[in-house]
Amino acid sequence: MKTKKVLAILSEYGYWGIELVGPLRKLEAAGYTVDFMTPFGKKAEALPPSYDTTYVDPPLGVCVTTASDAEMVKTFEAENKLENPLAISDLIPERPYYSKTNFLRELEQYYIDVKKAQSELTEKYDAILLVGGSGPIIDMVNNQRLHEMVLGFYRADKPIAAICYGVAVLPFARDFNERRCILKGKHVTGHCIEYDYHDGTGFLHTDLNMGPPPYVLEYLLDDAVGPDGQFHGNFGKETSVIVDYPFITARSLQCSHEFGDQFVNVLDNNTKRYGW
């Protein structure tokens, strides 16, 4: 039975404004309530360039934040809906190290607790949304707690939507025993190499400039889908949104509104394929 609720996961090191607000407004217009969650329950904040209409994206060479998108993000931020997000760490335990004295018993309890949490999540929510921006590189992509949440929705055959660097979570969300990629054989999109920064990958709450992103997302996704799947970069095209159920993936901020439309189509109209 549908709950008309979606769970959005955001980084505590900055999300790209319209990559949340774009799909959020589409979901709300379709009657969905969206709950927000971060790794440790700290407030998520929009990255300043994502509401700056003068910011020029280096690979594209143009201002990428429209006046209407900037206004949507500023309005949303003023609503203070991200002040007290849920915490992934409160829901999913940390997997024990092999070096633990009582490792086997702790691992058995870990799987019991994870299964219970996954069941609670998929009973409460119709889908999960992984919001992009540079922040996910730090605290979402290799977050094993978040991986278990994604696997819960995957096993329950519920939609998993991801945009920009939120997509980078998916190649790593693997069963700890089987180690097989859930994207194998699927069609997905994500940041193609032509649009990757050479420098300037930055984050909130830190002075770190990582330079380029620490990995090429296109290569990760191309390897993850394997020979029977396909990565769609759609370089040169304004947007790139791919639905290959249960995955809804979007390349970057320009796709936010189309991404939201297709997210709703998957939820309400049972769309299984789009964009390929």
CA-based end-to-end distance of the chain: 29
Name the residue among 25, 30, 23, 26 with its Cα closest to residue 4: 30
Q: Read out DSSP for 107-123?
A: HHHHHHHHHHHHHHHHH
- Full domain range(s) for residue 117: 5-274
261, two tokens: 């439309």
CA distance 166 to 134: 9
- The DSSP symbol for 102 reads T
Render each residue's pLDDT in the chain as its tens digit; 276 residues.
789 999 999 999 999 999 999 999 999 999 999 999 999 999 999 999 999 999 999 999 999 999 999 999 999 999 999 999 999 999 999 999 999 999 999 999 999 999 999 999 999 999 999 999 999 999 999 999 999 999 999 999 999 999 999 999 999 999 999 999 999 999 999 999 999 999 989 899 888 888 999 999 999 999 999 999 999 999 999 999 999 999 999 999 999 999 999 999 999 999 999 999
> How many helical (H) and strand (E) elements, i.e. helices and strands, does the chain have?
8, 12
Q: What total number of domains does the chain contain?
A: 1
The beta strand positions in the chain, using DSSP E, are: 5-9, 33-38, 56-57, 62-63, 86-87, 127-130, 160-163, 187-189, 230-232, 241-244, 247-250, 273-274
Do 169 and 137 form a contact (C-beta atoms < 8 A)?
Answer: no
For 111, other C-beta atoms within 10 Å of its C-beta total 14
pTM of model > 0.85:
yes
Give residue 38's Cα distance to chain centre.
Answer: 11
Name the residue among 152, 149, 155, 158 with its Cα closest to residue 126: 158
The sign one gets for the Cα dihedral 152, 31, 23, 78 is: negative
Name the residue among 84, 14, 10 with its Cα closest to residue 48: 14
Q: Which residues are CB-contacts of 233 (< 8 A; sequence separation ≥ 6)?
A: 189, 190, 192, 193, 194, 218, 240, 251
